[in-house]
Amino acid sequence: MPALYLDIVGKKRGVNNNIILKLEDVKTSYGRIEALKGISLFLRKREIVTLIGANGAGKTTTLMTICGIVKNSGGHILFDGEDIKEASPQKLVRRGISQVPEGRRIFPRLSVIENLEMGAFIRNDRAGIRSDLERVYSLFPILRERRKQKGGTLSGGEQQMLAIGRALMARPRLLLLDEPSLGLAPMLVEQIFRIIEEIKQGEVTILLVEQNAKKALSCADRGYVLENGLITLEDTASRLLENEKVKASYLGA
Amino acid sequence: MIKNKILEKSIWALWLGLLALPFMGKKAGILAIAILLVILLLPLLNGLIARFGISVSRLNFLSSSANWLKTNKKMALLILFSFAAILPLFMNRYFVDVAVLCGIYIVLALGLNVIVGLTGLLALGYIAFYAVGAYCYALLWTHYHINFWLALPIGTALAGVFGVLLGSPVLRLRGDYLAIVTLGFGEITRIVLNNWDELTRGPNGILGIARPSIGDFIIKQPIHYYYLILAFVVLTIFITTRLEHSRIGRAWVAIREDEVAAAACGVNVTLMKLLAFATGAAFAGLGGVFFAGKMIFVSPESFTFMESVMVLCMVVLGGMGSIPGVILGAIALIILPEALRQFQFYRLLMFGGAMALMMIIRPQGLIPSQRRKMELEEENG
Ligand SMILES: Nc1ncnc2c1ncn2[C@@H]1O[C@H](COP(=O)(O)OP(=O)(O)O)[C@@H](O)[C@H]1O
Ligand SMILES: [Mg+2]
């Protein structure tokens, strides 16, 4: 049945082309502590995928491993179909992976605009940088107002916006967000999630790590549940929202 | 509030005037203090007068001259440079010698500023790189008769290599740990120099190093050395300023602010840290070669831990990361002990006291770097 065979191959290829990031049995250790015990996941282009899990489950480690700041000891990470296991963090930023680290980590003594400029560190297309700066300002008008103020003097919410804006300044294709709603007032959480959906309107794929599972699942397309360094559940976001186990453990219902 | 400010500025004037004392004699020194007082207090006076509703436009010349300096940076630099160029013509040999010493330490402090002030790596054994430069020229001359000008790039580069050698094993360390390991490195260097008799002649040091010469003209008067070190100082200022405002400089500052965030922005943290060590060490090497060519003698005694601390104090006192601040810090810390020479035994005590006082009334340094200045002022206001 050659026709069917072709069809399967074609379909498979189609799916592959559409996958921007793929983790296969990735293991990461800190010394003797094995934080990731072999996780597999994938992201399609322009998807929002969320990774939910309790404190210490290995969410931050997953993101740090993807962007190369922490090295994995086993498995494969494919970005655009290429193994990026050996690539350095700065190479990965150049190739289009940007991270908004946990706890914001803005540059406290640099001004807002200097922080944003640092986001574009790897680029030298001035015109492009300027237009992206305008885009960030239109996403976060408050940053324009505060552009001369130092990062460390911003409120928590503003710092989170700055951290996201800084990551966008690298013009990423894949954006890794580590608990963007952590420690923010409910109103600000709403705003951050609204902006995440707005970012998706661009060409950006988003991997969103959250403890706030309800919010994360309502804006994501699909989700994974991480427990003790292992993925225990994966499904579409809407089905995960209905899942009894997820409800019991993460939705506080 | 105003009272505090008056007090602070008066202490400032006294402090700076004290530095000027030995150079001008008592009467002129007191005059200098008075002038400084007036200059420093003028803006406050301005505020007071304004309170009583008197027009102040005529007293505004000070702030307008400050503005002028800001807009005419090149002009101001030129004036400063000309001043430095004619200065030794009005000083006796002793003071020219002190000025040469200032020059050496400006080069050292600007180099350390790259490592500590810009990149935020607390390195304590910095003087070891100075020793590398000095011994490099001393050995090259005594063994191979390689002259000063050739030894200059070699010593600079060799110190840079030592910077990388030290930098690579300590890259992962931060803060206190880095300080301790670099301190150890400095001590190891000194101990090796002290004990490797065959090569360094141990504590006796190396004698008979050639003075630098240009053609037939031998550099030997303090004033000759003054102009030579002035050239090095200008070169150092030029290079460090350019570096600070380059991509590399921005990467250094980002590392100082947050290493992980810098990496997330695509900064090659390892490479940039090594580059900071290499750059800082290279300037120390440059200073070291000059030092050997000036003293025509080197011994381990010149490279003690105290010297490292001294250079670090210059950077901190002047204002971390601020090039004009660091220069002023170096000048102040060289002149201050000289100025206190007449007090003999109390000299070190007063030196320590002055440092402590400075840290209390002006923790951000003499001329804080722009960023730090804004930060600290916002905290006050
Ligand atoms: N730098 C580190 N050194 C050692 N252990 C670490 C380090 N970072 C994280 N861990 C451990 O790895 C596990 C996963 O941590 P993490 O990825 O931060 O979880 P999460 O982000 O889901 O809260 C935890 O057990 C944590 O203690
Ligand atoms: Mg985490």
Q: For the residues of A70-127, what is the DSSP string, one character each?
A: S--SEEEEEETTEE-TT--HHHHHHHTEEEE-TT----TTSBHHHHHHHHTTT---HH
CA distances from B209 to B50, B148, B166, B290, B303 (A): 63, 9, 28, 11, 18
- From the list B14, B240, B217, B238, the residue with the least C-alpha distance to B109 is B240
Contact residues, chain A, for B254 at CB < 8 Å: 107, 110, 118, 121
Structure tokens belonging to residue A191: 């705003």
In tens, the pLDDT along B223-233 reads 999 999 999 99
Q: What is the ipTM metric for this complex?
A: 0.86
Contact A176, A207 (CB under 8 A): yes
Produce one character per residue of B141-176: b if its CB has 16 or more CB atoms within 10 Å, e if not: beeeebebeebbebbbbbbbebbeebbeebeeeeee
Of A9 and B315, the one with more pLDDT: B315
B129 pLDDT above the threshold of 50:
yes
Contact B106, B233 (CB under 8 A): yes
pLDDT score at A228: 94
**Rounded-to-integer distance, Cα A172 and Cα A168, Å:** 6
DSSP A150: B
B65 pLDDT above the threshold of 90:
no
Structure tokens belonging to residue A252: 């506080």
Longest dimension (CA), chain A: 67
Contact residues, chain A, for B376 at CB < 8 Å: none
Is there an atom of ligand 1 within 6 Å of A63 CB? Answer: no
In tens, the pLDDT along A189-239 reads 988 999 898 888 878 999 999 988 998 999 999 999 999 999 999 999 999
B43 pLDDT above the threshold of 90:
no
- From the list B376, B276, B368, B281, the residue with the least C-alpha distance to B317 is B368
Q: Report the 10 Å Cβ neighbour count for B113.
A: 32
Contact A79, A67 (CB under 8 A): no
In total, chain B counts a number of residues equal to 381
Domain ranges for chain B, please list them.
Answer: 1-71, 76-371
**Rounded-to-integer distance, Cα B106 and Cα B318, Å:** 11
If one residue of A26, A27, A29, A33 were mutated to test the ligand 1 pocket, choosing by the most ligand atoms within 8 A of its CB, it would be A33
B120 pLDDT above the threshold of 60:
yes
How many interface pairs between A and B have CB atoms less than 8 angstroms apart?
68
Mean pLDDT score of chain B: 81
The residue contributing the CA closest to ligand 1 atom 2 is A30
Range of lowest pLDDT (A200-204, A222-226, B20-24, B294-298): B20-24
Mean pLDDT score of chain A: 89
Q: Is A232 helix (H, G, I), strand (E, B) or coil?
A: strand
A42 pLDDT above the threshold of 90:
yes
Is there an atom of ligand 1 within 6 Å of A64 CB? Answer: no
B161 pLDDT above the threshold of 50:
yes
Whose structure tokens read 């899990």? A53
pLDDT score at B63: 56
Q: How close, in Å, is residue A2 to chain B by CA atoms? A: 48
Beta-strand relationship, A205-210 and A48-52: parallel
- From the list B307, B321, B313, B367, the residue with the least C-alpha distance to B16 is B367
Q: What global pTM score does this model have?
A: 0.82
**Rounded-to-integer distance, Cα B231 and Cα B217, Å:** 17
Q: How close, in Å, is residue A98 to chain B by CA atoms? A: 7
pLDDT score at A3: 43
Q: How close, in Å, is residue A60 to chain B by CA atoms? A: 13
Is there an atom of ligand 1 within 6 Å of A96 CB? Answer: no
Domains detected in chain A: 3-96+173-250 (3.40.50.300), 106-171 (no CATH)
Report how far ligand 1's centroid is from the alpha carbon of A35 (Å): 6
Task: Determine the residue type at A160.
Answer: Q
B343 pLDDT above the threshold of 50:
yes
**Rounded-to-integer distance, Cα A210 and Cα A193, Å:** 11
Report how far ligand 2's centroid is from the alpha carbon of A22 (Å): 20
pLDDT score at B20: 58
Query: Which residue in chain A has the smallest CA separation from B265?
Result: A119
- Beta partners for residue B213, in sequence order: B218
**Rounded-to-integer distance, Cα B238 and Cα B100, Å:** 19
Domain B76-371, CATH number (from 1.10.287, 2.160.20, 1.10.3470, 1.10.1200): 1.10.3470
Contact residues, chain B, for A105 at CB < 8 Å: 258, 260-261, 264
CA distances from A55 to A11, A250, A253, B277 (A): 38, 11, 18, 38
CA distances from B350 to B21, B99, B318, B338, B340 (A): 15, 21, 18, 12, 8
